[in-house]
């Protein structure tokens, strides 16, 4: 049945290919495309140019045109680049080339060429291009300079690394006075706090070139820099001192607290600077084993209104861990509107309201219930918890009206989706995913509507492109198709294996959905492989543990072997961690040693513990795996489910001597 669905889903693709020439010729063109991919990676421009004619008429010709044009973009004339874009009009690759060209034109300060191409740029999701455009809008008086400067500041602060676009625009607005120096210092603070010293140095360089070297010195040895300032504190070096304490906090938060508490800095630093620094120190303490209990005291030394959004989030988490609901309430109240409306903080605001019983029990319950209702009903972690707070267990949503044959035919005829499927079929998954996302999200302003997204997701499901099936269906706004959002490929294998070892199949599916989106040949940047993203060393250890004496490393890429070893390891982790699903998920993502360390301290409700996981990736992972698990359980059993029951409580083990110490 599955094979038949795949064949039917591919018929339109195959028909389109067959119309372009004999199967043998198509296969030859496929090989040519793969040759071009390799030549593009090696920057072999002449090879690309010589191979391009062989791709004429191929469904993936736009990709080939992009590779060839992009490789010679530095020497191509504007007319040549425009001709290349005309040949791939309407595709992701046309917009990708225009994006690249816009960046080059701006770096060359060819503003006339930039202005010609910008209106035809559909994606418009490149922050550097947006910053260049805002600078030109202000210069041409199409937009008030103050408004353009505010938008540039927002984009610049959001950029992770040093760049030309937003830095150039910010420099212009700093020089004109439309941006205040405080914006550059904020950019430097954020960069230094997130261990991006190059971006910090670039930011302060916009104010004084000499300060870039000082920022580098601070990044390499903040304690030494701060010591030197005892007798050499000069005008405006207080901002650099702020960077020094930020950097010190990332290395030794307790030392940073002692430094900031020194009398000289109390007199020299402003209330805003001291508050920001206490926010940094409080955050680092909240993330550091052995210092969590000191975090709230650090936060209390500063003013919430001067702290960054991330500091306020960590103050709220520290309050949750300590059961200090007043601190939770105050931190959330100080957040900006957008942050405060995120489901995580809506949920915890409701919990704080209930715990504090303000202004009275009845009013608090009414307010909390309204907050829960505002987010309940979705499939996310806090949406599910809010639903349970309202007394409604988690159930699978009713299925929407099936995709009609006409809706599916329209999706199958969409050139962008055809190109995406053809690319993935050839092993060009990354390129195919970009084309797919562009077609569903960006090609039409506002993206596809719900019915179009359901049809596209159906096409992906039929072709067993499970990651696009899930992600596309996840984007629907008014309807939810649980069978698309939570598919169960390889069901016979998963149910058989989990039954053999006593593991909840919903937990396994919830983990696989997060790990690989059911891509059997998925491989992470650190070497994890397959459906369950098992690391090589972990696979070897687990194979020995379960008696697979003839296991070879390459076998982890085999679907059934991956399921066998991945489920075995998950069960061992679960048993090792007292059957705690959140702890085992954390161990699977970040390693059992970290999971054991993170459970030390007070006994906490599972949702409080999960929210306090120091690593953002693991915190997000655990919440998603458990939310996925609850949804899968509802689908598998057909019965209402409880996320909170799966979360349980987390605290120190009552029998740590039973740990499998060599569990990798």
CA 439 to chain centre: 20
Residue 9 has a pLDDT of 42
Whole-number Å distance between alpha carbons of 52 and 65: 7
Residue 21 has a pLDDT of 38
Residue 658 has a pLDDT of 65
Examine residue 359 and say whether the peptide bond preceding it is cis (omega within 30 degrees of 0). Answer: yes
3-class SS letters over 44-75: CHHHHHHHHHHHCCCCCHHHHHHHHHHHCCCC
Tokens coding 562 = 């991956």
Whole-number Å distance between alpha carbons of 634 and 615: 29
Half-sphere exposure in the Cβ direction for 363 (13 Å, CA): 5
Query: For residues 609 and 364, is the Cβ–Cβ distance under 8 A?
Result: no
Whole-number Å distance between alpha carbons of 372 and 630: 19
Residue 664 has a pLDDT of 87
Residue 525 has a pLDDT of 84
Residue 272 has a pLDDT of 96
3-state secondary structure of 664: coil
Residue 11 has a pLDDT of 38
Whole-number Å distance between alpha carbons of 163 and 168: 8
How far apart, in Å, are the Cα atoms of 419 and each of 11, 16, 32, 412?
14, 10, 16, 11
Task: Write the pLDDT tens digit of every residue in 45-57.
Answer: 999 999 999 999 9
Active site residues: 515
Q: How many CB atoms lie within 10 A of CB 442?
A: 17
Could you tell me the residue ranges of all domains in the chain? 2-120, 405-485, 491-658
Residue 16 has a pLDDT of 41
Please name which of 490, 645, 470 lies closest in space to residue 567, comparing C-alpha atoms: 490
Which residue ranges in the chain fall short of pLDDT 70?
A: 1-27, 228-236, 658-660
For the 491-658 domain, the top CATH level (class) is: mainly alpha
Residue 23 has a pLDDT of 35
Whole-number Å distance between alpha carbons of 63 and 430: 12
Can you give the pTM of this predicted structure? 0.92
């Amino acid at each position: 049945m599955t094979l038949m669905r795949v064949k039917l889903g591919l018929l339109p693709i195959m028909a389109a290919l067959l119309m372009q020439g004999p199967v043998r010729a198509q296969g030859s063109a496929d090989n040519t495309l793969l040759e071009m991919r390799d030549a593009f990676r090696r920057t072999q421009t002449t090879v690309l140019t010589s191979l391009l004619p062989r791709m004429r008429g191929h469904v993936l010709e736009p990709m080939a045109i992009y590779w060839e044009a992009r490789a010679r973009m530095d020497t191509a004339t504007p007319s040549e680049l425009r001709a290349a874009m005309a040949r791939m009009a309407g595709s992701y690759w046309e917009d990708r080339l225009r994006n690249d060209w816009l960046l080059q034109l701006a770096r060359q300060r060819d503003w006339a060429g930039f202005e010609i191409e910008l209106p035809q740029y559909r994606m418009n999701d490149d922050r550097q291009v947006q910053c260049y455009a805002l600078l030109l809008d202000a210069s041409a008086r199409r937009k008030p300079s103050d408004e353009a400067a505010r938008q540039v500041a927002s984009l610049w602060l959001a950029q992770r690394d040093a760049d030309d676009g937003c830095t150039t625009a910010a420099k212009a607005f700093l020089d004109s006075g439309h941006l205040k120096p405080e914006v550059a210092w904020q950019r430097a603070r954020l960069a230094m706090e997130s261990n991006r010293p190059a971006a910090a140095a670039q930011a302060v360089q916009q104010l004084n070139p000499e300060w870039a070297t000082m920022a580098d010195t601070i990044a390499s040895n903040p304690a030494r820099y701060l010591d030197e300032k005892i007798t050499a504190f000069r005008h405006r070096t207080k901002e650099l001192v702020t960077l020094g304490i930020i950097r010190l906090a990332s290395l030794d938060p307790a030392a940073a607290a002692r430094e900031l508490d020194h009398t000289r800095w109390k007199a020299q630093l402003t209330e805003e600077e001291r508050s920001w620094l206490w926010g940094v120190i409080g955050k680092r303490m909240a993330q550091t084993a052995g210092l969590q209990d000191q975090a709230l005291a650090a936060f209390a030394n500063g003013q919430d209104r001067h702290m960054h959004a991330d500091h306020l989030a960590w103050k709220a988490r520290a309050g949750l861990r300590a059961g200090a609901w007043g601190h939770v309430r105050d931190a959330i109240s100080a957040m900006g509107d957008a942050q405060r409306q995120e489901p995580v903080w809506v949920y915890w605001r409701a919990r704080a309201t209930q715990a504090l019983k303000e202004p009275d029990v009845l009013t608090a319950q009414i307010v909390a219930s309204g907050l829960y209702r505002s987010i309940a009903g979705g499939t996310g972690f806090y949406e599910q918890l809010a639903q349970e707070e309202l007394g409604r267990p988690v159930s699978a949503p009713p299925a929407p009206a099936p995709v009609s044959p006409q809706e599916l035919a329209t999706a199958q005829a969409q050139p962008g989706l055809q190109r995406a499927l053809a690319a993935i079929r050839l092993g060009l998954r990354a390129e195919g995913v970009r084309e797919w996302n562009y077609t569903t999200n960006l090609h039409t302003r506002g993206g596809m509507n719900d019915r179009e997204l359901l049809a596209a997701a159906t096409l992906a499901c039929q072709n067993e492109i499970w990651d696009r099936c899930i992600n596309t269906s996840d984007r629907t706004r008014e309807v939810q198709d649980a069978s698309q959002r939570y598919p169960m490929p390889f069901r016979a294998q998963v149910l058989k294996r989990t039954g053999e070892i006593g593991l909840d199949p919903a937990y396994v599916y919830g983990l696989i959905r997060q790990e690989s989106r059911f891509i059997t040949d998925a491989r992470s940047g650190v070497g994890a492989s397959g459906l369950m993203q098992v690391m090589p060393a972990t696979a070897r250890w687990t194979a020995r543990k379960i008696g697979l004496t003839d296991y070879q490393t390459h076998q982890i890429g085999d679907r059934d072997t991956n399921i066998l070893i991945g489920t075995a390891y998950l069960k061992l982790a679960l048993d090792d961690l007292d059957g705690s699903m959140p702890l085992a998920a954390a161990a699977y993502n970040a390693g059992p040693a970290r999971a054991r360390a993170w459970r030390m301290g007070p006994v906490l409700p599972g949702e409080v513990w999960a929210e306090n996981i120091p690593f953002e990736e693991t915190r997000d992972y655990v919440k998603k795996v458990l939310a996925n698990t609850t949804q899968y359980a509802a689908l598998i059993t057909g019965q209402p489910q409880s996320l909170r029951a799966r979360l349980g409580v987390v605290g120190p083990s009552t029998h740590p001597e039973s740990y499998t110490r060599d569990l990798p």
